[in-house]
């Protein structure tokens, strides 16, 4: 779960729907014994009040969840994510979060390059709403990335793009 922080979601496309779907997905993962990892962008360089840097309450970490801070769009870079996944023998990543064309894209591609299988939750990632008339729209950005990951190939990797309701943890 990438950068689902209050400040970042303030102007996100379909934020409430995305939060609801990710919360349900995280609950199902926990029930199945699947690790839930929250990645949190450090916002120290920005004038963001501390309380808005927190992960949104709708998807807040629960006991047993991991929370890792990061400074890059690539959630693996300098966060300890790779070590955590290796330590838990995680092979397949279910990716959700903010922002589609930055952190979600960078993390998904890094995961594939590092040998992980990928499930991109098609309705579980979002990006900022653009001003009226700016193209592509946020919805188009999300759709573009869903289409890209549905057709991209990494040898020896499984890549699925699926809605949250169809993600299985068995």
Active site residues: 103
Instruction: Give every strand in the sheet of 117-126, ordered side by side.
Output: 92-98, 117-126, 159-162
Distance in angstroms (rounded) separating the CA atoms of residues 134 and 91: 38
Torsion over CA: 17, 23, 140, 13 (sign): positive
Q: Which two tokens mark 84?
A: 């955590």
3-state secondary structure of 5: strand
Over its C-alpha atoms, the chain yields an Rg (Å, rounded) of 15
Neighbour-count burial of 77, counting CB atoms closer than 10 A to its CB (0-12 exposed, 13-18 middle, 19+ buried): middle
């Amino acid at each position: 779960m990438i950068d689902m922080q209050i400040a970042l979601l303030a102007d996100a496309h379909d934020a409430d729907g995305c939060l609801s779907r990710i919360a349900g997905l995280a609950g199902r993962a926990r029930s199945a014994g699947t690790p839930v990892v929250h990645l949190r962008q450090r916002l120290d360089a920005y004038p963001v009040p501390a309380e808005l840097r927190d992960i949104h309450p709708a998807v807040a970490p629960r006991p047993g969840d991991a929370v890792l801070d990061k400074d890059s769009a690539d959630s693996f870079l300098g966060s300890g994510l790779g070590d955590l996944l290796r330590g838990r023998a995680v092979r397949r990543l279910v990716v959700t979060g903010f922002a589609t064309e930055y952190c979600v894209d960078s993390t998904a591609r890094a995961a594939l390059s590092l040998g992980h299988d990928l499930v991109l939750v098609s309705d579980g990632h979002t990006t900022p709403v653009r001003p009226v008339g700016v193209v592509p729209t946020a919805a188009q950005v999300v759709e573009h990335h869903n289409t890209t990951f549905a057709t991209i190939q990494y040898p020896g990797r499984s890549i699925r793009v699926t809605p949250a309701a169809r993600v299985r943890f068995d």
